[in-house]
């Protein structure tokens, strides 16, 4: 890429940055108008994050330019070339100082050093208005050197400016030294604060974006768990009602009644899922599992032993039962399903094993199959537990969930439902 192409690219970057800042200012003005009617005062977007904010200070060099045109400067060609070189270096350093990576590059530091040497030569050679180049050098230094060494550099530069100024005008040396130090430190402080505000604003936007993504994940995961199971139950019971209707109308009506009950319960759970406060019971899920397996022609075998479980633990295990039984009914092609729950003082284990021959899920990422089981693996992991799913050596498919029994029966609430955006 040639220097001309690089210049054009840089100009496009500056223009887009300026346009973005103007857009933010327009939004800020509109927000202020709305806030006057009763609302929180919006956050000011601050100055544009580009070297344009440092350009007005070049007007300090008008005095030296005036001396050149009025013939008050010896060797005007040297002074003119020096003025042009200084302004070019100032613009170069100023725009690079707003890019963190370019600010620390060697070329930027070399340009700043050349500015120092050029300022020293012009100020020492001409004095008077040319001494104001030291505060301009301080602006460029403060914009570029932001760190623990800035204070020492600022003091050293101010002292040097005062010494050079004293050779031409001792009464003005203190003013030049003070102006140089002030421009160095204030510029660094303002630009550092502005950069920190921009980074905090970007971090806040990123956190908000992630919160939205997590809420979408929670909602999609909950809908999958709810609707996937509910639709499977309704399909199975509808098929059972269709088979029973010709020969046993009462039994068919009982299945239809169950379908109505499942539908009503699903509506309630979907409303709770939307608010993010859904709770469940392991006992209820086991009863549902028995009913669904019976309707699907799968023999249910339920075994439960051990200590009583905390409500939070039952919620998680209830989800495992629901997802595992749904997979058995939809995919396994099994004739028998055994559900075992055994709890001790330290750990509770849930096992759902079938004797099917088909894959329990259409997809098997790693050793855990399906989107539902993957989501449950994340939930149990958040609560300090684990979930394993895979082929059993004796045939069929087995899902095993383990959870620690926390003192007081309290688990991480994040495991019960995905984080909600606040």
pLDDT tens figures, 180-201? 999 999 888 888 888 887 788 7
Strands 347-354 and 397-404: antiparallel
Q: What is the mean pLDDT of residues 202-215?
A: 79
Instruction: Kindly indicate the confidence band of residue 322, based on its pLDDT and cuts at 50, 70 and 90.
Output: confident
Q: What is the mean pLDDT of residues 167-186?
A: 88
Task: Give the pLDDT confidence score for residue 14 in this predicted structure.
Answer: 61
Task: Give the pLDDT confidence score for residue 116 in this predicted structure.
Answer: 93
Retrieve residue 226's tokens.
Answer: 């709810």
User: 405 phi and psi, to 5 degrees?
Assistant: -95, 105
Q: CA nearest 191: which of 112, 60, 56, 100? A: 100
Could you give the CA distance from residue 319 to residue 376 in angstroms, rounded to a whole number? 8
Q: Most confidently modeled of 127-141, 259-273, 284-298, 348-362?
A: 127-141
Percent of the chain whose pLDDT exceeds 90? 12
Q: Is the pLDDT of residue 282 over 50?
A: yes
Task: Give the pLDDT confidence score for residue 156 in this predicted structure.
Answer: 92
Q: Tell me the β-bridge partners of 404.
A: 347
Q: Is the pLDDT of residue 277 over 70?
A: no
Q: Is the pLDDT of residue 370 over 50?
A: no
Helix or strand run (H / E) with residue 305: strand 299-306
Task: Give the pLDDT confidence score for residue 367 in this predicted structure.
Answer: 40
Task: Give the pLDDT confidence score for residue 205 in this predicted structure.
Answer: 77
Task: Give the pLDDT confidence score for residue 84 in this predicted structure.
Answer: 92
Tell me the C-alpha to C-alpha distance, in Å, between residue 93 and each of 10, 86, 182, 277, 413: 13, 10, 19, 56, 52
Instruction: Kindly indicate the confidence band of residue 339, based on its pLDDT and cuts at 50, 70 and 90.
Output: very high
Q: Is the pLDDT of residue 165 over 70?
A: yes
Task: Give the pLDDT confidence score for residue 54 in this predicted structure.
Answer: 84
Tell me the C-alpha to C-alpha distance, in Å, between residue 143 and each of 115, 134, 313: 14, 14, 57
Instruction: Kindly indicate the confidence band of residue 69, based on its pLDDT and cuts at 50, 70 and 90.
Output: confident
Q: Is the pLDDT of residue 360 over 60?
A: no
Q: Is 12 exposed, middle or buried (0-12, 13-18, 19+ CB in 10 A)?
A: exposed
Task: Give the pLDDT confidence score for residue 294 in this predicted structure.
Answer: 84
* 133: helix, strand or coil: helix
Q: What is the mean pLDDT of residues 146-160?
A: 87
Instruction: Kindly indicate the confidence band of residue 289, based on its pLDDT and cuts at 50, 70 and 90.
Output: confident
In this structure, how many other beta carbons lie within 10 angstroms of the beta carbon of residue 202? 10
Which position has the token pair 């344009």? 52
Q: What does the DSSP 8-state code read for residue 391?
A: E
Task: Give the pLDDT confidence score for residue 417 in this predicted structure.
Answer: 46
Rg (CA), the chain: 37
CB-CB contact of 268 with 217 (8 Å):
no
Q: What is the mean pLDDT of residues 108-129?
A: 90
Question: What pTM value is reported for the model?
Answer: 0.48
Q: Most confidently modeled of 84-93, 214-223, 313-322?
A: 84-93
Task: Give the pLDDT confidence score for residue 21 in this predicted structure.
Answer: 63
User: 230 phi and psi, to 5 degrees?
Assistant: -65, -45
Q: CA nearest 281: which of 313, 254, 303, 249? A: 313
Task: Give the pLDDT confidence score for residue 150 in this predicted structure.
Answer: 85
Q: Is the pLDDT of residue 418 over 50?
A: no
User: 277 phi and psi, to 5 degrees?
Assistant: -125, 35
Which position has the token pair 């199971």? 229
Query: How many CA within 13 A on the CB side of residue 11?
Result: 6
Could you give the CA distance from residue 261 to residue 240 in angstroms, rounded to a whole number? 16
Least confident of 7-16, 20-29, 328-337, 390-399: 7-16
Instruction: Kindly indicate the confidence band of residue 114, based on its pLDDT and cuts at 50, 70 and 90.
Output: very high
Helix or strand run (H / E) with residue 354: strand 347-354
Q: Is the pLDDT of residue 133 over 50?
A: yes
Which position has the token pair 């030049």? 176
Task: Give the pLDDT confidence score for residue 211 in this predicted structure.
Answer: 79
Task: Give the pLDDT confidence score for residue 37 in this predicted structure.
Answer: 61
Could you give the CA distance from residue 280 to residue 318 in angstroms, rounded to a whole number? 7
Task: Give the pLDDT confidence score for residue 18 in this predicted structure.
Answer: 65
More confident residue, 360 or 313: 313
Q: Is the pLDDT of residue 363 over 50?
A: no
More confident residue, 285 or 221: 285
Task: Give the pLDDT confidence score for residue 408 in this predicted structure.
Answer: 44
Could you give the CA distance from residue 144 to residue 184 in angstroms, rounded to a whole number? 10
């Amino acid at each position: 890429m040639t220097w001309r192409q690089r210049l054009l690219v840089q100009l496009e970057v500056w223009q887009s940055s300026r346009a973005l800042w103007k857009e933010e200012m327009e939004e800020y003005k509109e927000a202020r108008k709305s806030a006057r009617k009763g609302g929180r005062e919006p956050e000011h977007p601050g100055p544009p994050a580009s070297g344009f904010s440092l350009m007005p200070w070049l007007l300090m060099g008008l005095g030296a330019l005036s001396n050149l045109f009025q013939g008050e400067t010896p060797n005007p060609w040297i002074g003119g070339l020096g003025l042009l070189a200084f302004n070019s270096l100032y613009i170069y350093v100023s725009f690079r100082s707003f890019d963190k990576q370019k600010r620390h590059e060697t070329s930027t530091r070399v340009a700043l050093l050349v500015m120092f040497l050029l300022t020293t030569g012009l100020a020492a050679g001409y004095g008077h208005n040319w001494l104001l180049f030291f505060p301009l050098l301080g602006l460029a230094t403060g914009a570029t050197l932001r760190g623990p060494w800035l204070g020492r550099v600022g003091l050293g530069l101010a002292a040097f400016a005062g010494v050079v100024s004293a050779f031409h005008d001792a009464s003005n040396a203190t003013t030049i030294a003070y102006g140089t130090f002030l421009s160095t430190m204030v510029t660094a402080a303002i630009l550092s604060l502005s950069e920190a505000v921009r980074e905090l604003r970007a971090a806040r936007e990123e956190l908000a974006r992630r919160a939205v993504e997590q809420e979408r994940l929670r909602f999609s995961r909950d809908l999958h768990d709810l609707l996937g199971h509910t639709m499977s139950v309704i399909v199975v019971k509808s098929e059972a009602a269709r088979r029973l209707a010709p020969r046993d109308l009462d039994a068919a009506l009982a299945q239809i009644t169950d379908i109505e009950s499942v539908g009503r319960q699903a509506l309630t759970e979907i409303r709770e899922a939307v608010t993010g406060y859904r709770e469940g019971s392991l006992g209820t899920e086991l009863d549902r599992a028995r009913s669904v397996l019976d309707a699907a022609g799968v023999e249910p075998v339920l075994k439960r032993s051990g200590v009583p479980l905390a409500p939070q633990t039952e919620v998680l295990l209830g989800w495992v039962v629901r997802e595992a039984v749904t997979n058995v009914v939809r995919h396994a092609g099994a004739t028998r399903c055994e559900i075992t729950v055994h709890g001790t003082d330290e750990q509770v284990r849930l096992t759902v094993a079938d004797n099917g021959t088909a894959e329990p899920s259409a997809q098997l990422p790693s050793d855990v199959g399906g989107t539902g089981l993957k989501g449950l693996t994340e939930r149990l992991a958040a609560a300090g537990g684990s979930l394993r799913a895979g082929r059993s050596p004796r045939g069929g498919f087995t899902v095993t969930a383990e959870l620690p029994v926390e003192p007081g029966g309290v688990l991480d609430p994040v495991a019960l439902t995905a984080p909600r955006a606040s």
